[in-house]
A and B are shown apart, each in its own frame.
Chain A
Amino acid sequence: SQTIHQWPATLVQPVGSPLSLECTVEGTSNPNLYWYRQAAGRGLQLLFYSVGIGQISSEVPQNLSASRPQDRQFILSSKKLLLSDSGFYLCAWNRPSYEQYFGPGTRLTVT
């Protein structure tokens, strides 16, 4: 069976510090991968998606970036965090044209 992992589970970072969130998927190959952000009490906003290694599509211009160094690894990064970057970050995967499965999320608080 497939599983998706995210870490860390929670993170508190000062404004201006860098960020690196990691997501890995097990039990499948060549998945589509996604990063979403969810502000408190809000819906999910798609940030990035990837259909293959090194292929990244950005949905929202911002100070975040994503990379896919390996088939089942998806990384969300920032060089300098803003207060507005606080939120719940979710990684998801799917097979093309099928439902997406979400990881447990990372709660990021920028202080």
Chain B
Amino acid sequence: GESVGLHLPTLSVQEGDNSIINCAYSNSASDYFIWYKQESGKGPQFIIDIRSNMDKRQGQRVTVLLNKTVKHLSLQIAATQPGDSAVYFCAEKKGQAGTALIFGKGTTLSVSS
């Protein structure tokens, strides 16, 4: 069935390092992917999205890469800061009506200074 998962539940990095958070998806028909950041006790916050007609998309300090051949998605955070510490979720679009998303379980990023 359809599922979105992340390779590692936790990732610890030093301040200033680059972070890479990975996600694998199983539905080759998915055409839209989003990364969210969730801080403790808060709702998820949109970071960046990418559509299946793209391989790469860049934002401020973040880059999302999409490899449709192996159904892999990654989020790269440059110069990671303590404020980046949070749980990161990838999500894929399911279906047409309502654009309901399927979320992975999340990766907890811990940044130490």
Contact = CB atoms under 8 A, between A and B. Distances in A.
Interface string B37-73: 0000111111001000000000000000000000000
Contact of A97 (B44, B99, B106): B99
Interface in B84-113: 89, 91, 97-106
Interface string A49-78: 111000001010000000000000000000
Contacts of B98: 32, 34, 49-51, 57, 96
A96 B91 CA distance: 16
A51 B95 CA distance: 13
Given A42-B105, A43-B106, A44-B89, A99 B100 contact: no
Interface range, B side: 20 to 34
If over half of B's interface residues share one DSSP class (helix, strand or loop), that class is named, otherwise mixed; here it is strand
A49 B100 contact: yes
Nearest to A10: B41
Contacts of B32: 97
B102 A51 contact: no
8 contacts: A42-B105, A43-B105, A45-B103, A57-B97, A92-B43, A94-B99, A101-B46, A105-B43
B43 A90 contact: yes
Nearest 6 pairs of A and B residues by beta carbon:
A102-B43, A44-B103, A43-B105, A49-B98, A43-B103, A102-B44
A100 B34 contact: yes
A84 to B, nearest CB: 18
